[in-house]
Structure 1
Amino acid sequence: MLTNRRDVQIQWGDCDPANIVYYPRYFEMFDDSTSALFAAAGCSKQDLVRVYGLVGIPMVDTRAKFYIPSTYGDVITIESRIEKFNRSSFEVTHRVLKGEALAIEAFETRVLVGRDPADPDKLKSTAIPAEIVEKFKRG
Protein backbone atom coordinates (compact mmCIF):
# COMPACT_ATOMS: atom_id res chain seq x y z
CA MET A 1 0.00 0.00 0.00
CA LEU A 2 1.07 3.54 -0.69
CA THR A 3 2.80 5.40 2.15
CA ASN A 4 3.04 9.19 1.98
CA ARG A 5 5.63 11.15 3.96
CA ARG A 6 5.54 14.85 4.70
CA ASP A 7 7.67 17.07 6.87
CA VAL A 8 5.96 19.55 9.19
CA GLN A 9 7.70 22.30 11.13
CA ILE A 10 6.07 22.97 14.49
CA GLN A 11 4.83 26.55 14.73
CA TRP A 12 4.47 28.79 17.78
CA GLY A 13 0.67 28.54 17.57
CA ASP A 14 0.85 24.72 17.74
CA CYS A 15 2.25 24.86 21.28
CA ASP A 16 0.77 25.29 24.74
CA PRO A 17 2.34 27.52 27.44
CA ALA A 18 4.83 24.73 28.26
CA ASN A 19 6.09 24.91 24.63
CA ILE A 20 4.78 21.40 23.89
CA VAL A 21 2.47 20.78 20.93
CA TYR A 22 -1.12 20.93 22.15
CA TYR A 23 -2.45 17.49 21.23
CA PRO A 24 -5.51 18.59 19.14
CA ARG A 25 -3.09 20.31 16.75
CA TYR A 26 -1.71 16.88 15.85
CA PHE A 27 -5.18 15.75 14.77
CA GLU A 28 -5.33 18.73 12.39
CA MET A 29 -1.95 17.62 11.03
CA PHE A 30 -3.25 14.06 10.63
CA ASP A 31 -6.30 15.33 8.74
CA ASP A 32 -4.01 17.26 6.39
CA SER A 33 -1.82 14.16 6.08
CA THR A 34 -4.81 12.03 5.05
CA SER A 35 -5.65 14.61 2.37
CA ALA A 36 -2.02 14.56 1.22
CA LEU A 37 -2.12 10.74 1.10
CA PHE A 38 -5.19 10.79 -1.15
CA ALA A 39 -3.57 13.43 -3.38
CA ALA A 40 -0.40 11.30 -3.63
CA ALA A 41 -2.56 8.38 -4.78
CA GLY A 42 -4.14 10.56 -7.47
CA CYS A 43 -7.43 11.09 -5.61
CA SER A 44 -7.51 14.62 -4.24
CA LYS A 45 -10.51 15.64 -2.16
CA GLN A 46 -11.66 17.68 -5.17
CA ASP A 47 -11.51 14.49 -7.29
CA LEU A 48 -13.62 12.65 -4.73
CA VAL A 49 -16.30 15.31 -5.15
CA ARG A 50 -16.03 15.85 -8.92
CA VAL A 51 -15.19 12.39 -10.21
CA TYR A 52 -16.94 10.14 -7.70
CA GLY A 53 -19.79 12.40 -6.54
CA LEU A 54 -18.82 12.06 -2.90
CA VAL A 55 -19.22 14.64 -0.16
CA GLY A 56 -16.12 13.71 1.81
CA ILE A 57 -14.25 11.24 4.00
CA PRO A 58 -15.25 12.09 7.58
CA MET A 59 -13.47 10.56 10.53
CA VAL A 60 -15.65 8.31 12.68
CA ASP A 61 -13.01 7.06 15.13
CA THR A 62 -9.53 8.17 16.12
CA ARG A 63 -6.91 7.56 18.75
CA ALA A 64 -3.22 8.20 19.27
CA LYS A 65 -0.29 7.05 21.39
CA PHE A 66 2.16 9.81 22.33
CA TYR A 67 5.76 8.83 23.07
CA ILE A 68 7.97 11.89 22.51
CA PRO A 69 6.81 15.54 22.70
CA SER A 70 7.54 18.12 20.03
CA THR A 71 8.19 21.81 20.60
CA TYR A 72 8.34 25.06 18.63
CA GLY A 73 10.74 24.83 15.70
CA ASP A 74 10.98 21.03 15.61
CA VAL A 75 10.59 19.37 12.23
CA ILE A 76 8.59 16.15 12.36
CA THR A 77 7.90 13.66 9.60
CA ILE A 78 4.39 12.23 9.29
CA GLU A 79 4.12 8.90 7.48
CA SER A 80 0.55 8.02 6.49
CA ARG A 81 -0.88 4.91 4.91
CA ILE A 82 -4.17 3.09 4.56
CA GLU A 83 -3.90 -0.23 6.35
CA LYS A 84 -7.25 -1.67 5.31
CA PHE A 85 -10.18 -0.92 3.03
CA ASN A 86 -13.65 -2.14 4.02
CA ARG A 87 -16.89 -1.69 2.04
CA SER A 88 -17.27 2.02 2.76
CA SER A 89 -14.70 2.66 5.49
CA PHE A 90 -10.93 2.52 5.66
CA GLU A 91 -8.26 2.46 8.36
CA VAL A 92 -5.45 5.04 8.29
CA THR A 93 -2.25 4.88 10.33
CA HIS A 94 -0.03 7.91 10.91
CA ARG A 95 3.48 7.55 12.32
CA VAL A 96 5.17 10.72 13.53
CA LEU A 97 8.96 10.63 13.56
CA LYS A 98 11.38 13.03 15.24
CA GLY A 99 14.55 12.17 13.43
CA GLU A 100 14.60 8.37 13.55
CA ALA A 101 12.58 8.12 16.78
CA LEU A 102 8.89 7.22 16.81
CA ALA A 103 7.09 10.12 18.53
CA ILE A 104 3.41 9.28 17.89
CA GLU A 105 1.28 6.51 16.43
CA ALA A 106 -2.21 7.60 15.41
CA PHE A 107 -5.12 5.66 13.99
CA GLU A 108 -8.21 6.82 12.12
CA THR A 109 -11.31 5.14 10.76
CA ARG A 110 -12.86 7.15 7.95
CA VAL A 111 -15.91 6.62 5.76
CA LEU A 112 -16.65 7.66 2.19
CA VAL A 113 -19.98 9.52 2.19
CA GLY A 114 -22.30 10.91 -0.43
CA ARG A 115 -25.80 12.32 -0.47
CA ASP A 116 -28.53 9.90 0.51
CA PRO A 117 -30.55 9.22 -2.67
CA ALA A 118 -33.73 8.95 -0.59
CA ASP A 119 -33.11 12.29 1.17
CA PRO A 120 -30.48 14.62 -0.36
CA ASP A 121 -30.36 16.62 2.90
CA LYS A 122 -28.78 13.58 4.58
CA LEU A 123 -25.45 11.84 4.11
CA LYS A 124 -24.98 8.12 3.56
CA SER A 125 -21.93 5.89 3.46
CA THR A 126 -20.88 4.91 -0.04
CA ALA A 127 -19.03 1.82 -1.23
CA ILE A 128 -15.38 2.56 -1.97
CA PRO A 129 -14.86 2.40 -5.74
CA ALA A 130 -12.45 -0.37 -6.80
CA GLU A 131 -10.54 2.24 -8.83
CA ILE A 132 -9.64 4.13 -5.62
CA VAL A 133 -8.44 0.96 -3.89
CA GLU A 134 -6.29 0.10 -6.92
CA LYS A 135 -4.62 3.54 -6.87
CA PHE A 136 -3.48 2.91 -3.30
CA LYS A 137 -2.36 -0.65 -4.01
CA ARG A 138 -0.22 0.51 -6.94
CA GLY A 139 1.46 2.91 -4.54
Structure 2
Amino acid sequence: MLIHTHTRLIEWSDCDPAGIVFHPRYLAYFDHGTNLLFAKAGFDLATLQTRFEVIGYPVVDLRSRFLAPCRYGDEARIETRIAEFRHSSFDVQHVLHRGDAVAVEARVTRVWAGRHPEDPRRMQGRPVPQEVRAALSRH
Protein backbone atom coordinates (compact mmCIF):
# COMPACT_ATOMS: atom_id res chain seq x y z
CA MET A 1 0.00 0.00 0.00
CA LEU A 2 1.04 3.56 -0.64
CA ILE A 3 2.29 5.26 2.54
CA HIS A 4 2.48 8.98 3.18
CA THR A 5 4.85 10.19 5.87
CA HIS A 6 5.13 13.74 7.12
CA THR A 7 6.53 15.45 10.16
CA ARG A 8 5.14 18.26 12.23
CA LEU A 9 6.39 20.24 15.14
CA ILE A 10 4.02 20.17 18.11
CA GLU A 11 2.88 23.73 18.74
CA TRP A 12 1.68 25.29 21.97
CA SER A 13 -1.82 25.65 20.52
CA ASP A 14 -1.95 21.82 20.20
CA CYS A 15 -1.46 21.35 23.93
CA ASP A 16 -3.70 21.26 26.98
CA PRO A 17 -2.85 23.01 30.29
CA ALA A 18 -0.59 20.07 31.24
CA GLY A 19 1.55 20.82 28.18
CA ILE A 20 0.71 17.60 26.33
CA VAL A 21 -1.18 17.31 23.05
CA PHE A 22 -4.93 17.58 23.64
CA HIS A 23 -6.28 14.30 22.24
CA PRO A 24 -8.67 15.78 19.60
CA ARG A 25 -5.68 17.47 17.95
CA TYR A 26 -4.38 14.04 16.95
CA LEU A 27 -7.56 13.51 14.96
CA ALA A 28 -6.89 16.73 13.06
CA TYR A 29 -3.34 15.51 12.35
CA PHE A 30 -4.73 12.22 11.04
CA ASP A 31 -7.37 13.91 8.90
CA HIS A 32 -4.64 16.03 7.35
CA GLY A 33 -2.55 12.90 6.77
CA THR A 34 -5.44 11.24 4.95
CA ASN A 35 -5.80 14.24 2.64
CA LEU A 36 -2.04 14.22 1.99
CA LEU A 37 -2.14 10.47 1.21
CA PHE A 38 -4.90 10.96 -1.36
CA ALA A 39 -3.02 13.91 -2.87
CA LYS A 40 0.16 11.80 -3.11
CA ALA A 41 -1.89 9.22 -5.05
CA GLY A 42 -2.98 12.00 -7.45
CA PHE A 43 -6.41 12.62 -5.96
CA ASP A 44 -6.62 15.79 -3.89
CA LEU A 45 -10.12 16.49 -2.57
CA ALA A 46 -10.96 19.06 -5.28
CA THR A 47 -10.04 16.51 -7.97
CA LEU A 48 -12.12 13.80 -6.29
CA GLN A 49 -15.14 16.09 -6.04
CA THR A 50 -14.93 17.15 -9.67
CA ARG A 51 -13.91 13.86 -11.24
CA PHE A 52 -16.03 11.44 -9.21
CA GLU A 53 -18.86 13.71 -7.98
CA VAL A 54 -18.28 12.82 -4.35
CA ILE A 55 -18.58 15.05 -1.31
CA GLY A 56 -15.59 13.40 0.28
CA TYR A 57 -14.82 10.56 2.66
CA PRO A 58 -16.38 11.29 6.06
CA VAL A 59 -15.41 9.42 9.21
CA VAL A 60 -17.89 6.82 10.47
CA ASP A 61 -15.72 5.08 13.07
CA LEU A 62 -12.38 5.58 14.74
CA ARG A 63 -10.29 3.74 17.24
CA SER A 64 -7.11 5.06 18.76
CA ARG A 65 -4.49 4.07 21.30
CA PHE A 66 -2.46 6.66 23.13
CA LEU A 67 0.83 5.04 24.09
CA ALA A 68 3.09 8.00 24.95
CA PRO A 69 2.42 11.73 25.30
CA CYS A 70 3.67 14.33 22.87
CA ARG A 71 4.60 17.74 24.23
CA TYR A 72 5.16 21.25 23.00
CA GLY A 73 8.28 21.34 20.83
CA ASP A 74 8.33 17.62 20.04
CA GLU A 75 8.71 16.58 16.44
CA ALA A 76 6.12 14.00 15.41
CA ARG A 77 6.38 11.74 12.36
CA ILE A 78 3.02 10.57 11.07
CA GLU A 79 2.64 7.60 8.73
CA THR A 80 -0.67 7.13 6.93
CA ARG A 81 -1.82 4.28 4.68
CA ILE A 82 -4.99 2.51 3.61
CA ALA A 83 -5.34 -0.63 5.72
CA GLU A 84 -8.37 -2.11 3.97
CA PHE A 85 -10.85 -1.35 1.21
CA ARG A 86 -14.44 -2.55 1.24
CA HIS A 87 -17.25 -1.76 -1.21
CA SER A 88 -17.94 1.85 -0.21
CA SER A 89 -15.80 2.21 2.90
CA PHE A 90 -12.15 1.90 3.78
CA ASP A 91 -9.92 1.93 6.84
CA VAL A 92 -7.02 4.32 7.17
CA GLN A 93 -4.16 3.38 9.52
CA HIS A 94 -2.19 6.18 11.19
CA VAL A 95 0.93 5.76 13.32
CA LEU A 96 2.42 8.78 15.05
CA HIS A 97 6.01 8.47 16.19
CA ARG A 98 7.83 10.67 18.68
CA GLY A 99 11.47 9.87 18.07
CA ASP A 100 11.77 6.09 17.84
CA ALA A 101 8.68 5.47 19.99
CA VAL A 102 5.14 4.96 18.75
CA ALA A 103 3.07 7.56 20.57
CA VAL A 104 -0.38 7.11 18.98
CA GLU A 105 -2.00 4.54 16.70
CA ALA A 106 -5.37 5.06 15.06
CA ARG A 107 -7.61 3.21 12.63
CA VAL A 108 -10.24 5.39 11.00
CA THR A 109 -13.13 4.05 8.92
CA ARG A 110 -14.30 6.39 6.18
CA VAL A 111 -17.07 6.17 3.59
CA TRP A 112 -16.81 7.22 -0.04
CA ALA A 113 -19.82 9.55 -0.07
CA GLY A 114 -21.85 11.40 -2.64
CA ARG A 115 -25.07 13.35 -2.41
CA HIS A 116 -28.21 11.32 -1.81
CA PRO A 117 -30.26 11.31 -5.05
CA GLU A 118 -33.54 12.09 -3.26
CA ASP A 119 -32.25 14.64 -0.74
CA PRO A 120 -29.11 16.65 -1.58
CA ARG A 121 -28.68 17.59 2.11
CA ARG A 122 -27.93 13.93 2.86
CA MET A 123 -25.00 11.75 1.88
CA GLN A 124 -24.98 8.26 0.48
CA GLY A 125 -22.14 5.75 0.28
CA ARG A 126 -20.88 4.88 -3.17
CA PRO A 127 -18.42 2.28 -4.41
CA VAL A 128 -14.79 3.40 -4.19
CA PRO A 129 -13.65 3.72 -7.83
CA GLN A 130 -11.15 1.09 -8.97
CA GLU A 131 -8.82 3.84 -10.20
CA VAL A 132 -8.62 5.30 -6.71
CA ARG A 133 -8.13 1.88 -5.12
CA ALA A 134 -5.30 1.10 -7.53
CA ALA A 135 -3.52 4.41 -6.91
CA LEU A 136 -3.67 3.96 -3.13
CA SER A 137 -2.65 0.30 -3.31
CA ARG A 138 0.59 0.82 -5.21
CA HIS A 139 3.90 0.42 -3.46
TM-score for both structures, normalised by structure 1? 0.97
Q: Gapped runs of 5+ residues in structure 2?
A: none
CA distance in 1, matches of 2:112, 2:99: 33
CA distance in 2, matches of 1:26, 1:88: 25
Question: 2:33 is matched with which residue?
Answer: 33
Question: 1:94 is matched with which residue?
Answer: 94
Q: Give the superposition deviation at 1:78.
A: 0.4
**Aligned Cα RMSD in Å?**
0.9
CA distance in 2, matches of 1:119, 1:22: 37
Of 110-119 and 75-84, more deviation after overlay is shown by: 110-119
How many pairs does the alignment contain? Answer: 139
Question: 2:59 is matched with which residue?
Answer: 59
SS in 1 for 2:108: strand
Question: 1:111 is matched with which residue?
Answer: 111
CA distance in 2, matches of 1:81, 1:20: 26
Q: Give the superposition deviation at 1:121.
A: 2.9
CA distance in 2, matches of 1:94, 1:138: 17
Letter in 1 for 2:22: Y
Letter in 2 for 1:95: V
Question: 1:127 is matched with which residue?
Answer: 127
TM-score for both structures, normalised by structure 2? 0.97
Identity %: 42
CA distance in 2, matches of 1:83, 1:65: 16
Q: Give the superposition deviation at 1:117.
A: 1.9
